[in-house]
Amino acid sequence: MLLDLFLTFFRIGAFTFGGGYAMISVIEDICVARKEWITHEDLVNVTVIAESTPGPVAINCATFVGYRQKGLAGAAAATLGVVLPSFLIIWLISMFLDRFLEIAWVAGAFRGIRVAVGLLILDVGIRMIKKMPKEPLRIVLTACTLAAMLLISIFAWNVSTVVLLLAAGAVSLAVYLVRERTAGKDGGRE
Amino acid sequence: MIYLDLLAGFLEVGCFSFGGAYAAIPLIRDVVLSHGWVTEEMLTDMIAVSESTPGPIMVNLATYVGTSQAGIPGAVIATLASILPAFLIILLIMIVMKKFMDNRYVRAAMRGLQACVAGVITAVGCYMLYQNAFRPLAAEAADFRPLALAGVLALIYFGSRKVMKKGLSPIALIGISACMGVVLFGI
């Protein structure tokens, strides 16, 4: 099992292009659909946790799934597995290839990969939206953060996604508290 | 002592790199430039390499700086230091999570956070596609190849779900895109 975790996350780590988000689609494919180690909802929750804590999504997800499966040892195996590919690749690049990206076919391959990564990330986002319960508040929050994040990217504003998360969490909590207070006499609801 | 410097420097990076790779870059910059580990130009190159190679930028930079400063031991120390905070924080959360998640106020906040993450990820996907597929059209010599590639990849990826039970895996899609990229742009 430990070896399985290590090898699985090694494979995932080798394909974590373009920040952590593309890896969510790889994790969903392998850990949710094929191996059934975690559920879709677990994955959404760990993404939330990963975004609100320091550290890359990749590391956070690996630690989470590893711990779920096999406790501390599992967490260590999965986390080491996920960082090892990038460690080896960067180490090789820094040793042997000074002008790595100037090699025409390498640059070409990466241009292709970046297009695929955009598609994969969009697919993850759309799937999360589709599977979300359709409450008005959630739909509004999703629409607002989507618009805000697009503006942040287009104008290259230096705003951390943590700010968006805090705002969305606060709004959701506030709405809940207000509803609880107004419905307080009937015993509240959940 | 360089090993201790690397350890302390990348622990700091690991502790405070909130909010995705791009938000963390300013902090990483401060740490590596203030120690004189890399020059501004090397850092820009390194960010370009990190964007193309697998793995989080923070970890890639740690490996790179560690190697250039103190060989393999340096690389190992810097890399482990950069991931240790994230590792410990998730462990801690997992240990208290069961109780934490049962709290109704936490759940109320969590619903908002889930909606937010879905919005953020969708936006990042849209923006990446715009940057890599649509923007080359607006260049002086309009380049239609990236958009065509995006169309073909989308057709393969989403089309495969209609034909096969589980569809094409993301890893296979990345492999295909790399090969097509070499043919389209690299030759």
The number of domains in chain B is 2
Name the domain boundary from B102, B135, B166.
B102
**Which residues 132-161 of chain B have a CB within 8 Å of chain A?**
132-133, 146, 149-150, 153-154, 157-158
The whole-model pTM stands at 0.79
Task: List the domain range (segments joined by +) for residue B80.
Answer: 2-102
pLDDT of B114: 87
In this structure, the answer to whether residues B90 and B9 fall within a common structural domain is yes
In this structure, the answer to whether residues B134 and B51 fall within a common structural domain is no
pLDDT of A79: 93
pLDDT of A190: 45
pLDDT of B147: 94
In this structure, the answer to whether residues B64 and B151 fall within a common structural domain is no
Taking the Cβ of residue A161 and every Cβ of chain B, the question of whether any pair is shorter than 8 Å is answered with yes
In this structure, the answer to whether residues B50 and B138 fall within a common structural domain is no
In this structure, the answer to whether residues B87 and B113 fall within a common structural domain is no
Three-state SS string over chain B comes to: CHHHHHHHHHHHHHHHCCCHHHHHHHHHHHHHHHCCCCCHHHHHHHHHHHHHCCCCHHHHHHHHHHHHHHHHHHHHHHHHHHHHHHHHHHHHHHHHHHHHHHCHHHHHHHHHHHHHHHHHHHHHHHHHHHHHHHHHHHCCCCCCHHHHHHHHHHHHHHHHHHHCCCCCCHHHHHHHHHHHHHHHHCC
Task: Give the best residue of A97, A119, A127, A141 to mutate against chain B (max B CB count within 10 A).
Answer: A119
In this structure, the answer to whether residues B81 and B8 fall within a common structural domain is yes
Name the domain boundary from B102, B131, B159.
B102
In this structure, the answer to whether residues B85 and B144 fall within a common structural domain is no
In this structure, the answer to whether residues B165 and B82 fall within a common structural domain is no
Mean pLDDT, range B119-144, rounded to an integer: 88
In this structure, the answer to whether residues B65 and B116 fall within a common structural domain is no
ipTM: 0.80
Name the domain boundary from B78, B102, B126.
B102
Name every chain A residue with its beta carbon within 8 A of the beta carbon of B27. Answer: none
Rounded to a whole number of angstroms, the distance from the CA of B1 to the nearest CA of chain A is 22
In this structure, the answer to whether residues B19 and B87 fall within a common structural domain is yes
